[in-house]
Structure 1
């Protein structure tokens, strides 16, 4: 891979392509292939390879997806391209509760809006854009017809994918709450102040192209001097497979507006509360 200093080169490319996006009605459309590795945790150690293959086949529509990002100079809307489950001929109703709804980003107003349905109830998550401190690298690579530059960041894991849910995260949260409750009862305020909680971080690698100088990207990600064409987040990758600049059919880019308004933090609490209730009712049925 060729390495160049990005500052001057990025500036020149951005200036060269500024005219093409100068029009008021400029719009682009990018398709992303989303792939995540299956993580079975401790259960995986007890399964045979055949069992793992069967589970992977059933979960394929959750682990491999296509998303569409429609964008202009300031705004974007990111949504899943839904397709029928080849095995059942239906959409994945359980997984739909924990996949992102339509995500709207406005880099001028620093606003993020996402609609979400959780067990039949509609929510509208309104918050600020994810704060990202990108470190610009000199490494480059070609993605399709576009020269891309590398950027890296680290973000607290708890701030990412707030719409998702895992039982292990619920158990960890429950233990944390129990520990905090015991600590408040048994320890003095002076000892509490000395505690430093370790924050789990996730490294994110992005490849962006200054040939499309908009500060947008898939999902929650943004903030680079060019469209993000590839993202690596742990075992998950998002790779742009197709780009259309100024498509003939324009997409209306506007924020969702239906649902109970909450912040990202509030919505995450609602998800945990709902799943705690689900776990309690399921345990009750097993005992009866």
Structure 2
């Protein structure tokens, strides 16, 4: 990491203070997706299909729901928030849980994707991040910018992490930065996830995984192979894949 990045982090820690005693808490996120932008960017779709989607799903405000992340130094768990605000297809209210065990460096994903329910277990393998020399205020926390890529989905990821909340996790499948991720976007705003509220201390209603988790059990690499194959099949069929896979 360059010296200027280290200086920036030091300044953040000095001005905000490391809340070591408060690194247990809950974050409420707004998950907002813009289908018209996504569809316009897919070269394999026919113009007729693009026009249909723009007519049906064109919305300058996007489509949103709430998500919730509970975190501690040992683990984090992420799922839908309440109340549900579903303005999209019904997949948004299906099973979707991500639990990162930061102590053991393992994860569990329980999700409905590609027409099936999957139970994915594996070792944590963080994205390859590049920390940039930019900062931004989110809910009173000075956050640093980091960028990465998802080669399977063809996505550019921009995340903002709070160095004063030293828990290396975040929303969705993002983690591995030296601070809690409070916001990120994909492909310059096609998907925007941003914290709307942070509460420190033990959550009043801890998120619990379903008692019975039935689904196809796969490893992380096996699941990625399934995603890659599904996306390629969708491209070959001139169809969009994000209705069946979380964008």
Normalised to the residue count of structure 2, the TM-score between the two structures is: 0.70
Q: What are the superposed Cα offsets for residues 114-144 of structure 1, whole Å, 9 maximum, x if unpaired? A: 1123588543110222322322223211112
Contact preservation (8 Å) 1:130, 1:220: no
How far residue 70 of structure 1 moved from its aligned partner, in angstroms, is: 0.9
Match of 1:157 in 2: 151
How far residue 152 of structure 1 moved from its aligned partner, in angstroms, is: 2.0
Q: Which has the larger radius of gyration?
A: 1
Q: What are the superposed Cα offsets for residues 22-69 of structure 1, whole Å, 9 maximum, x if unpaired? A: xxxxx3111111122213346573379797243347xx6xx4222111
Higher helix share: 1
Match of 2:165 in 1: 212
Q: 1:252-271 alignment to 2 at 5 Å? A: 252=207, 258-259=213-214, 260-268=216-224
In the aligned structure 1, how far is the partner of 2:95 from the partner of 2:57?
Answer: 22
How far residue 11 of structure 1 moved from its aligned partner, in angstroms, is: 5.1
Contact preservation (8 Å) 2:64, 2:86: no
SS at match of 1:258: coil
Aligned with 1:36 (options 33, 38, 44): 33
Match of 2:102 in 1: 107
How far residue 15 of structure 1 moved from its aligned partner, in angstroms, is: 6.5
SS at match of 1:205: strand
Greater CA deviation, 42-51 or 3-12? 42-51
In the aligned structure 2, how far is the partner of 1:248 from the partner of 1:108?
Answer: 20
Q: 1:55-66 alignment to 2 at 5 Å? A: 55-56=57-58, 63-66=63-66
Which runs of no fewer than 5 residues in structure 2 stay unpaired? 238-247
Match of 1:71 in 2: 71
Task: Label 1:46 to 1:254 Cα distance change in 2 as closer, same or farther (>3 A).
Answer: closer
Question: Number of matched residues?
Answer: 218
Over the aligned positions, Cα root-mean-square deviation in angstroms equals: 3.8
Task: Label 1:254 to 1:109 Cα distance change in 2 as closer, same or farther (>3 A).
Answer: farther
Match of 2:80 in 1: 80
Which runs of no fewer than 5 residues in structure 1 stay unpaired? 22-26, 161-199, 281-288
Task: Label 1:135 to 1:255 Cα distance change in 2 as closer, same or farther (>3 A).
Answer: farther
Match of 1:245 in 2: 200
Q: What are the superposed Cα offsets for residues 210-259 of structure 1, whole Å, 9 maximum, x if unpaired? A: 22221111111111221111112212221111111115614156698723
Deviating runs (4+, > 4 A) in structure 1? Answer: 10-15, 47-51, 118-121, 252-257, 268-273
Q: 1:270-281 alignment to 2 at 5 Å? A: none
Contact preservation (8 Å) 2:120, 2:217: yes
Q: What are the superposed Cα offsets for residues 87-126 of structure 1, whole Å, 9 maximum, x if unpaired? A: xxxx844x359x7710111222221101123588543110
Match of 2:242 in 1: none
Contact preservation (8 Å) 1:32, 1:68: yes
Task: Label 1:118 to 1:17 Cα distance change in 2 as closer, same or farther (>3 A).
Answer: closer
Contact preservation (8 Å) 2:9, 2:163: no
